[in-house]
């Protein structure tokens, strides 16, 4: 996701609790206590994940290239990628992700609900002891 203070509410009240509601533990790499090289840490975290949530919301300066890279890397590894985007930004997404169904959200609470449902539908419930 776009690491911008304007997205904190979407993460804190949408993505994070939505992932937890589905029974999984979210990881946001910029909150890791000891990040040596954030890009290496992102790649490692994706390799260790069961799925990736890619929020494509962007500012007026355009889309976030790193989110596209991370989603593509995850897909290339065979992981499920759950795409989401704030509804007012959907029209600005490039063609290469518009082919995937995005959770279009207006409020973090809406994102939370839709995300938990999508994770359960695509990933299922975590196995005992696995998150």
Average pLDDT over residues 38-46: 88
- Residue ranges of alpha helices (H) inside the chain are 8-10, 16-21, 38-47, 65-76, 95-98, 108-122
CA-CA distances (angstroms) from residue 85 to 5, 38, 45, 79, 115?
A: 16, 23, 22, 19, 11
Given this model, what pLDDT does residue 127 score? 65
Instruction: Give the model confidence (pLDDT) of 44-81 as tens digits.
Output: 999 999 999 999 988 766 666 688 899 999 999 999 99
Domain ranges of the chain: 5-122
For domain 5-122, the CATH class is alpha beta
CA distance 59 to 2: 9
CA–CA distance from 47 to each of 30, 78, 96, 125 (Å)? 17, 10, 22, 19
For residue 19, pLDDT over 90 is answered with: yes
């Amino acid at each position: 996701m776009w690491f911008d203070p304007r997205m904190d509410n979407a993460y804190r009240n949408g993505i994070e609790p939505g992932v937890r509601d589905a029974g999984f533990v979210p990881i946001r790499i910029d909150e890791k206590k000891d990040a040596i090289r954030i890009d290496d840490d992102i790649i490692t975290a994706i390799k260790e994940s069961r799925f990736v949530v890619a929020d494509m919301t962007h500012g007026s300066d355009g889309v976030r290239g790193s989110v596209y890279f991370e989603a593509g890397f995850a897909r290339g590894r065979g992981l499920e990628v759950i795409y989401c985007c704030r509804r007012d930004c959907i029209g600005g997404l490039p063609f290469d992700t518009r082919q995937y169904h995005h959770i279009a959200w207006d409020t973090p609470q809406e994102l939370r609900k839709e995300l938990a449902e999508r994770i359960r539908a695509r990933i299922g419930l975590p196995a005992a002891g696995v998150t």
